[in-house]
Amino acid sequence: MKYQKIPIKKIDGNVFEIEPFGGMLRPGRIYASDAMLQGLLDDDAPLQQVINVAHLPGIEKYSLAMPDIHWGYGFPIGGVAATDWKEGVISPGGVGYDINCGMRLAATGLRYDEVKKRLDKLIQELFKTIPTGVGSSHAIRKLSKKELQRVAQEGVNWVIEQGFGQATDLEVIEEKGKMPFADFSVVSARAVERGLDQLGTLGSGNHFLEIDVVDQIYDPVAAAAMGLFKDQIVILIHTGSRGFGYQICDDYLKVMGKAAQKYHLHLPDRQLAAAPIQSPEGQDYFAAMSCAANFAWSNRQVIMHLAYQTFKRVFSLSDRDLQFRLVYDVSHNIAKKETHKIDGKEKTVCVHRKGATRALAPNHPLLSEKYKSVGQPVLIPGDMGRYSFICVGTDKAMEETFGSTCHGAGRLMSRNKAKKAGLGRNLIKEMAKRGVIVQAKGKATLAEEMPEAYKNVESVVNIMHASGISLKVARLKPIGVIKG
């Protein structure tokens, strides 16, 4: 089958490859159905970004795109690229503005029948307790600069020491909630100012806290390892590093723009601004990005603890009866120093995941013991009116995608188009008819995030499942959500 404009061919059922041309150093590889690919070809901006990423100095194997691909800054959202740790570059566009935007899954011992009569009250109390919306602040207190430094450099361990969660939580957080390369001294005064009062805040846009019911189990063994069962009440948290991470990205895009010229990097798009990883600029960005990543993990840790306290208060349950616990926490927007097998040899690379999720195979040394036999939990949210999915990573992901998979549904409409489509509609009532109770700060956010604005996440997840990259474990159905 031939495709228009872009030199692309089908490799197998759901894998397409853009053959290198022009200044591409590696092929582009896209995971998609035929229908999805046609949609991408009709508006080829995301595919052009896949091509652009393939120009990055030091890129290994492929410029990758997951089936939730859509246009982003520099990299497409849903893009993955690994660059040689010694000779390659690092690009803030491969991470994004919301550094370590990610997903956290917490579980309870409760079943749907035990919460449905007080679900309205639960959502109201969560909305009161957890700050949401643009500029939301003061979830716990305004931090001092010294406290923010400890969050940025020590990560989740510091907030646990302050009483937010348990030490056992660290084992089921990516990187145990701490990037070791963090250096607060390379973070700007403006980023510090923005971070002081945003720990434990949800923010706005597509960020949410959602109450879900385990609707279907596909893999009973993996589900049992995660402590999941049919009709169970679980909590999904989606947020990132807030204004702290946004400012760090903004600051370093300016630095990287100058660095690209300084090091004579020939890049097809200025949004791909980059610097050699081993350069002072590259090292400073990596250290600052690590600070933002540590803030994001800590942010989700505090929000989870606030949710736990709210559950206890609303249902008047002991810890023994509630059985509230963290299942896993994964990152979506991050660059990581990792070791992967390339051309038969172990190699250290910088893996950029921009709107993509890490998906480690069973027995990987970075996995906690409880998940060694089944693989890393992968958390893939849908929109607030449909399903979300729990999956696991595979050996094939390690071979083909640097241990990466999709991160969500992927947008069909821009935020502006979604707002126009939502004019005159009562989306809270529409969601209630679907059986989902919604609390949100503004109508605009609801319109931006309505179900029609997104692809059907099930089709995205099924592509990765059929490709053997991440395998389905369970499906979650939303029953309540709070948004900014």
For 395, the token pair is 């050996």
Report yes or no: 390 and 329 within 8 Å, Cβ to Cβ: no
Classify residue 121 by its DSSP letter. H
Rg (the chain; Cα; Å): 21
Task: List all residues 6 or more positions away from 292 whose beta carbon is below 8 Å from its beta carbon.
Answer: 99, 100, 152, 241, 244, 245, 248, 249
For 275, the token pair is 């610097």
Residue 279 vs residues 88, 188, 249, 336: alpha-carbon distances, Å: 10, 19, 17, 16
CB atoms within 10 A of CB 386: 18
Would you say the C-alpha torsion 313, 319, 323, 325 has a positive or negative sign?
A: positive
CB atoms within 10 A of CB 325: 18
Q: How far apart are CA 395 and CA 400, in angstroms?
A: 9
**CB-based burial of residue 221 (10 Å sphere; 0-12 exposed, 13-18 middle, 19+ buried)?**
exposed
Of 207, 305, 352, 407, which residue is the catalytic one? Answer: 407
Q: How far apart are CA 158 and CA 160, in angstroms?
A: 5
Phi-psi region of 200 (alpha: psi -120 to 50; beta: other; left: phi over 0): left
**Amino acid type, 229:** F
Task: List all residues 6 or more positions away from 2 whose beta carbon is below 8 Å from its beta carbon.
Answer: none
407 assigned to active site: yes
Q: How far apart are CA 49 and CA 31, in angstroms?
A: 15
CA angle 129, 160, 207 (to 5 degrees): 45
Task: List all residues 6 or more positions away from 48 whose beta carbon is below 8 Å from its beta carbon.
Answer: none
In 3-state terms, what secondary structure has residue 411? strand
Closest among 472, 339, 395, 410 to 30, alpha carbons compared: 410
Residue 103 vs residues 16, 210, 461: alpha-carbon distances, Å: 28, 11, 16
**Amino acid type, 288:** A
User: How many CA atoms within 13 Å lie on the side-chain side of 352?
Assistant: 37
Positions marked catalytic: 407
